[in-house]
């Protein structure tokens, strides 16, 4: 293996949504898939790394919100990778039910209100239209493997971190001191313990963050939205938790 084993990727849309390509020497593992149905930005990053699409072996999903899962079906089709998600989120990713609504009342940060609005409109559209023949709101993708707290995916420890959604999952890679939080933590437009307007249970999210603050040594935090935390990541995670406890 040459080069760094973690590549952060963004297509710049949907609140700076981020995905991560990981290389621990058994093909590539992708955490989340960005917001395009074609997976084009992930494919471009693989090409840049000189890796054929068949090198993608696993697609791991933090939660079922569209901007994280839209590329999963196409990337699996192209690569033959195994799609891995929590069972509850998996039902949503498979198109069996809509993801939970969070309400239309605008919440801080207002720069992501467009996403909050889209999530809630999507809930009603899917609830009332998704069983109609021919209606496709996103490329549904039934996971090949479901995961729960304490499972392992190669070297990744699976941690159930509910709050943003019921089945939100985080992943810790001890050898790299890297933590992937999904939307439990966001870094755009500010570092925060999740976006209130897009999360179903902020108290649960805070408890999940406390759990993540004790996971082990952390030098890299890969968040679902915004650039990774790489400078003083552990300290900033603990400060964030202290702030979340006060609020
Ligand atoms: Zn989300």
| pLDDT score of 1 | 44
User: Which architecture characterizes domain 6-99+138-246 according to CATH?
Assistant: 4-Layer Sandwich (3.60)
Band (pLDDT 50/70/90 cuts) for residue 134 is: low
Predicted local distance difference test score (pLDDT) of residue 238: 83
Q: Are 207 and 165 in contact (CB under 8 A)?
A: no
Q: From the CA of 90, how far away is ligand 1's center (Å)?
A: 14
Cα-to-centroid distance, 234 and ligand 1 (Å): 22
Using the mean position of ligand 1's atoms as its centre, give its distance from the Cα of residue 164 in Å: 7
Contacts by 125-133, CB closer than 8 A, 24 or more apart: 126/97, 126/98, 127/98, 130/95, 130/98
Strand partners, 186: 192
Instruction: State the distance from the centre of ligand 1 to the C-alpha of 225, rounded, in angstroms.
Output: 9
- Top-confidence residue, 85 or 139: 85
Confidence of residue 245 (pLDDT cuts 50, 70, 90): low
Q: What is the pLDDT of residues 26-56, one digit of tens each?
A: 999 999 999 899 999 999 999 999 999 999 9
Could you tell me the residue ranges of all domains in the chain?
6-99+138-246
What is the whole-number distance in angstroms between the Cα of residue 226 and the centre of ligand 1?
12
pTM of the model: 0.89
């Amino acid at each position: 293996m040459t080069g760094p084993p973690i590549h952060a990727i963004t297509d710049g849309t949907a609140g700076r949504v981020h995905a991560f390509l990981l290389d621990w020497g058994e093909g590539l593992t992708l955490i989340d898939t960005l917001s395009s149905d074609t997976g084009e930005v992930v494919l471009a990053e693989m090409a840049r790394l000189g890796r054929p699409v068949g090198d993608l072996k696993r697609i791991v999903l933090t939660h079922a919100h569209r901007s994280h899962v839209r590329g999963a079906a196409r990337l699996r089709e192209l690569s033959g990778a195994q799609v891995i998600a929590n069972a509850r989120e998996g039902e949503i990713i498979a198109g069996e039910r809509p993801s939970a609504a969070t309400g239309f009342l605008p919440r801080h940060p207002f720069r992501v209100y467009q996403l909050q609005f889209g999530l809630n409109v999507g809930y009603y559209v899917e609830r009332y239209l998704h069983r109609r023949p021919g209606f496709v709101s996103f490329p549904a993708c039934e996971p090949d493997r479901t995961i729960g707290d304490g499972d392992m995916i190669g070297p990744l420890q699976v941690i159930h971190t509910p709050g943003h959604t019921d089945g939100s999952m985080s992943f810790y890679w001890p050898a790299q001191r890297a933590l992937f939080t999904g939307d439990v933590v966001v870094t755009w437009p500010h570092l925060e313990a999740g976006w209130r307007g897009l999360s179903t249970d902020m108290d649960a999210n805070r408890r999940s963050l406390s759990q993540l603050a004790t996971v082990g040594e952390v030098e890299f935090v890969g968040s679902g939205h915004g650039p990774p935390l790489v400078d003083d990541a552990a300290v900033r995670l603990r400060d964030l938790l202290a702030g979340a406890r006060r609020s």
